């Protein structure tokens, strides 16, 4: 809000807010992570995207790890640390899309990194559950002595404040070529990483063209691979083949169809989605009408299907999401993450930059589109989204929750379109997720026991989610009136604000 009041636009505000969230939720995100952004321009009605995900070190290749007997990249391995892409992406967003200078946008984050922020309930829970993943300098920078921070205690990051001041003065170059890079590189090399100064200096966010598919007269807009936005489009396309609106939104029948669409769509993702590097990625086998019809014909509305072989690489656990719409109607959907809680567990010695473990999302399978190779980006589960009816409304939105995100996008869209829910009701509604890695159907505790029993009768292995599943935020902008309607998920520490 302060950034908007200073004359900033939605991009300025989204970047400022996202970086501050790195201190509010340090287990979820930070400067050592990646970011994706989807921007909708009301003046043209067009959307554009930015892929701010980092790449594997040039000297790291799957064949070398296979030769060492490895079958996957572990979550706490130094080889899981791809070069962080977020800072370059933030710098580029402000330079190309913002109204303010980078120093002004970073000022709130510098303030909160220095003075600290109170630890919220969910943040304290995450710290207690995952703090033991931290190692080396990570313990010193993110723990309160020998334990995780508790609710209402104050977390400060003076080292990151110093880093942000350097970035404010020199831009992203300070992160990728200066003392911050040297600090990070020293940490990685000491652990046996193959990262080089050249890997950091060559890091650059990529402008991308969003991919879109209609859903019952609405357009669902996603970013292309290496993210899994195509998976969300496929789930929605499969659900469109069924009369979802005729069902109770919280019925076993609706949950079952969503689970089956998820099973098939994530199976397709495992085959088709990754970073093609210098090649091209053909999604026709996943998103053509023929492919969708063939998959839809495999869904039995009354019986669970066969588990598809899961992938061996790790899939995304946690993240933060932020959306902003400004007075001009510019819409920003931005997602920012360090992959698993506290990322790799490593942090740089001087500045305390927590380093993500996104490289665990690579496969070591020879010939796979997502096979690890130097300079490639891994499969990402991060997906900012946008739902629109051209000339009627635009709604930037995001659903956090690791691998759940693609299902979460389709579920939220279905709640809005098929059942006519308002934004907050669509966000609040009970969630479920078929996990192809375990073959289980996870449902939230708010589902009636009779629904769980019916799903078991249909052949699902049902488990109850120990806490709320993911989190979501959205803002709908009415084109004719400019009216904004927002919603924020009670499962997370978030809020919808307007001025």
Contact predicate 451/463, CB 8 Å: no
Within-domain flag for 499: no
Q: For the chain, what percent of residues have pLDDT higher than 90?
A: 88
pLDDT tens-place string over residues 150-180: 999 999 999 999 999 999 999 999 999 999 9
Q: Are residues 282 and 349 in the same domain?
A: no
Does any domain span residue 233? no
Is 427 in the same domain as 407?
yes
Domain limits at 428? 212-219+245-314+394-488
Q: Is residue 380 part of a domain?
A: no
Q: Are residues 79 and 43 in the same domain?
A: yes
Same domain, 275 and 324: no
Q: Quick check: helix, strand or coil at residue 203?
A: coil
Q: Given CA atoms 461, 405, 267, 62 in this order, what sign does their dihedral have?
A: negative
Predicted TM-score (pTM) of this structure: 0.93
- Clarify whether residues 73 and 128 are in a common domain: yes
pLDDT recorded at residue 271: 85
109 and 19 housed in the same domain:
yes
pLDDT band at 316 (very low <50, low <70, confident <90, very high): very low
Does a structural domain hold residue 229? no
In a domain, 228, yes or no: no
Nearest in space to 457 (alpha carbons), one of 303, 247, 305? 303
- 268, 174: one domain: no
Average pLDDT, the chain: 94
Task: Report which of residues 400 and 316 the model is more confident about.
Answer: 400
DSSP 415: H
SS3 of 350, please? coil
Q: What are the residue numbers of the active site? A: 319
Strand partners, 385: 397
| CATH of residue 439 | 3.60.20
Q: Where do we find the tokens 């990646």?
A: 34
If asked whether residues 278 and 198 sit together in one domain, one would say no
Q: Residue 240: inside a domain, yes or no? A: no
Q: Residues 79-111: pLDDT tens digits?
A: 999 999 999 999 999 999 999 999 999 999 999
Check whether residue 117 and residue 8 sit in a common domain: yes
What is the pLDDT at residue 166?
Answer: 98
Answer yes or no: is 409 within a domain: yes
- Give 132's contacts (C-beta < 8 A, 6+ positions apart): none
Do 342 and 293 sit in the same domain of this protein? no
CA atoms within 13 Å, Cβ hemisphere of 411: 33
* Percent of the chain scoring above 70 in pLDDT: 97
Instruction: Note the pLDDT of residue 184.
Output: 98
Same domain, 173 and 91: yes
Would residue 328 count as lying in a domain? yes
Total domains present in the chain: 2
Burial (Cβ within 10 Å: 0-12, 13-18, ≥19) of residue 42: middle
């Amino acid at each position: 809000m302060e950034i908007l009041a200073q004359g900033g636009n939605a991009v300025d505000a989204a970047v400022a807010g996202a970086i501050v969230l790195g201190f509010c939720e340090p287990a979820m995100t930070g400067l050592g992570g990646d970011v994706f952004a989807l921007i909708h321009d009301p003046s043209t009605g067009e959307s554009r995207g930015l892929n701010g995900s980092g790449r594997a070190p040039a000297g790291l290749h799957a064949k070398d790890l296979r030769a060492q007997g490895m079958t996957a990249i572990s979550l706490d391995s130094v080889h899981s640390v791809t070069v962080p892409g977020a800072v370059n992406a933030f710098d580029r967003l402000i330079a190309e899309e913002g109204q303010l200078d980078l120093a002004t946008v970073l000022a709130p984050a510098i303030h909160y990194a220095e003075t600290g922020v109170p630890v919220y309930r969910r943040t304290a829970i995450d710290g207690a559950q995952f703090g033991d993943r931290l190692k080396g300098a990570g313990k010193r920078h993110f723990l309160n002595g020998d334990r995780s921070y508790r609710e209402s205690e104050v977390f400060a990051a003076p080292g990151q404040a110093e880093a942000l001041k350097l970035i404010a003065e020199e831009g992203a170059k300070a992160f990728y070529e200066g003392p911050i890079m040297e600090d990070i590189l020293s940490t990685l090399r000491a652990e046996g990483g193959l990262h080089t100064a050249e890997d950091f200096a060559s890091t650059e966010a990529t402008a991308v063209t969003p991919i879109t598919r209609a859903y019952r007269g609405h357009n669902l807009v996603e970013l292309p691979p290496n993210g899994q936005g195509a998976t969300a489009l496929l789930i929605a396309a499969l659900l469109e083949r069924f009369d979802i609106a005729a069902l109770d939104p919280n019925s076993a029948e609706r949950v079952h169809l969503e689970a089956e669409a998820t099973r098939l769509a994530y199976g397709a993702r495992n085959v088709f989605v990754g970073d093609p590097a210098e090649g091209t990625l053909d999604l026709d086998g996943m998103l053509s009408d023929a492919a969708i019809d063939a998959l839809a014909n495999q869904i039995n509305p009354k019986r669970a299907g066969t588990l598809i072989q899961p992938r061996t690489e790790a899939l995304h656990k946690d993240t933060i999401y932020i959306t902003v719409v400004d007075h001009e109607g510019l819409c920003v959907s931005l997602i920012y993450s360090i992959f698993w809680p506290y990322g790799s567990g490593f942090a740089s010695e001087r500045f305390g930059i927590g380093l993500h473990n996104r490289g665990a999302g690579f496969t070591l399978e020879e010939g796979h589109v997502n096979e690890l190779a130097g300079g490639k980006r891994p499969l990402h589960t991060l997906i900012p989204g946008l739902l629109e009816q051209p000339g009627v409304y635009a709604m930037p939105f995001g659903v956090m929750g690791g691998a759940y995100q693609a299902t979460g996008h389709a579920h939220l869209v279905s709640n809005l379109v098929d059942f006519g829910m308002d934004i907050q009701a669509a966000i609040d509604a009970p969630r479920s997720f078929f996990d192809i890695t375990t073959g289980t159907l996870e449902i939230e505790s708010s589902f009636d026991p009779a629904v769980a029993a019916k799903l078991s009768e249909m052949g699902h292995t049902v488990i109850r989610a120990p806490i709320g599943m993911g989190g979501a935020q959205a803002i709908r902008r009415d084109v004719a009136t400019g009216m904004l309607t927002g919603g924020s998920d009670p499962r997370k520490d978030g809020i919808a604000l307007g001025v």
